[in-house]
Structure 1
């Protein structure tokens, strides 16, 4: 039994006979008859008494009407749902993002995307390192990932789309060191207590690089919870080297944000599977690339 057989059966019921149903369906009457006969064989019962040109429902035919209508309605609903997703009137898109990039540029990307396709829900999944992001995309846990890396964007296992760069900055409590300065040399971090993320993150790699260069700073706290960094800074535990995406939020909270010279940046990219992207994922990537093309480089 297939849905076409049920649609033909209901057409005969609704139009009062085989000839009228065939005309309404734009099929030949023999083709319609063969389809209904196939349905009758599948069910093991006649659905119509053929009396001349008339078709009179049998008891089995009358019993089939309601479930046939329910099946056809369900298929129509399924088709409409798929069409809605394809046309981006509804649906869901899962995106993995590292914490700093989830602040920005992901916020702006979702703002642009949702403004155009408000029916599609964007679900953000946490990933702490660029490797985590790639693995989540590669295994299908999410469709898209947003990551930051000090090296080239990954290309082997996923498709990558560069969307900008973010420089490193220093977050300082309002009564902390470097008062009156807008920028510092990285050498001025000597003797400072720093709050860092876990290994595998760009901010941790930057601090580890300073230590290797002989900048004698101290790691006061290491946290996997990126939301804890700003409260720790404001509490006076230490200073934090973070990406530019934190600037607005940190300044609103009362912290000072200083540029670090020489300028050092992370490359920001979206990653996806190489093939088989949903319509929503394709639209999100296109939206993000348009924003990246129009945004001014971070200073």
Structure 2
């Protein structure tokens, strides 16, 4: 067994099949298959069921995922530690982020980090819930993750650095009767059409809680693609409850941003795996700690 075989195995898992994995790795499909067969021979067990063009994990394959990620991540950390001697001139940092936190504070953090370490490539993985962030960090899919939650930040499975809170705000088009206001009471959302995200997110949980409190809004659109929120608001499809990380972007696009009263906020944190981190991840954490007010 060697690290290349584990990397090939994980590429098939992450890409969903041999052909996509081979394309991502820039190797031929027969070479990839041969490496996986050799790994299976060393382990004495099949890792995938071949069903047509699909590769379905066996029980042994599922058991290998987490230790394989740990092994690959440990090698990457070792290589990065050597590269740190050269002041992080090169390298890669994998970060998972929920959509709103990818707007802010991730944008600011990457801007500062990239200015200090221009040779390090920051790769951002999109996830939609705090649970997905924790799982991605815990299993080694990424080293760091930005998450938001209504309650205390998780500390059981990962380490978290508390950043600032983000309150909920309302996005409205410039011609809406509310557009000239600074704030809106949550009861005033009754009778309005809202664009909402998918279940499992903090934003959706907040909107659902309003409904439970008797705010009788209508759901205009339920959407996972946050990039469509602003266009839908500006097109008059509905209003959107988001976190204030959207404030500057929404203003530049021409939407109006109103505080929702009474104020309710999410706690924002930067999660890291327990144990040694690569120099690139350690430097990113240091960047976050150094920002006034947690970014």
TM-score of the two chains, using structure 1 as the length reference: 0.70
Decide whether aligned partners of structure 1 residues 199 and 81 sit closer, same or farther in structure 2, where only a CA change above 3 A counts: closer
Q: Which position in structure 2 is the counterpart of 1:124?
A: 124
Give the equivalent residue in structure 2 for 1:251.
Answer: 251
Does structure 2 conserve the Cα–Cα contact (< 8 Å) formed by 1:163 and 1:292? no
Runs of 5+ consecutive residues of structure 2 not aligned to the other structure = 1-77
Aligned equivalents of 2:128 and 2:212: distance in 1? 23
For 1:112-158, what per-residue CA distance to the aligned partner results, in whole angstroms no more than 9, with x for missing partners? 11111111111111011111111111111100000111111111110
Larger Rg: 1
Which position in structure 1 is the counterpart of 2:24? none
Structure 1 pair 175–83 and aligned structure 2 pair: CA distance change class (3 A): same
Secondary structure of 1:177's counterpart equals coil
- Tell me: CA distance 1:218–1:88, structure 2 relative to 1, closer, same or farther (3 Å): same
* Mapped contact 2:101–2:245 kept (Cα < 8 A): yes
* Separation of aligned partners in 2, 1:292 and 1:220: 38
Q: For the structure 1 residues 150 and 112, does the alpha-carbon distance in structure 2 shift closer, same or farther, using more than 3 Å as the test?
A: same
Q: In structure 2, the residue corresponding to 1:180 is in which secondary structure?
A: coil
User: How much has 1:294 moved relative to structure 2?
Assistant: 6.5
Counterpart for residue 242 of structure 1: 242
Provide Cα deviations, 1:60-114, integer angstroms capped at 9, x if missing partner.
xxxxxxxxxxxxxxxxxxx998632453111000000001000100011111111
Distance 2:159 2:283 in 1: 15
Equivalent runs, 1:214-225 vs 2, <5 Å:
214-225=214-225
Q: How many residues align?
A: 217
Q: After the TM superposition, which residues 273-288 of structure 1 pair with which residues of structure 2 at under 5 Å, given as runs?
A: 273-288=273-288
| Distance change in 2, residues 1:81/1:277 (3 Å) | closer
**Alpha-carbon distance in 1 for matches of 2:213, 2:113:** 42
On the 8 A contact 2:173/2:179 being kept in 1, the answer is no
- Stretches of structure 1 that go unaligned for 5 or more consecutive residues are 1-78
CA separation in 2, counterparts of 1:223 and 1:198?
Answer: 6
Alpha-carbon offset, residue 163 of structure 1: 1.1
- Alignment deviations for residues 228-271 of structure 1 (CA, whole Å, 9 cap, x no partner): 11111111110000010111111111111111111111100000
Please say if residues 164 and 292 of structure 1, whose CA atoms lie closer than 8 Å, have aligned partners that are also in contact.
no
Aligned to 2:206: 206
SS of structure 2 residue aligned to 1:276: coil
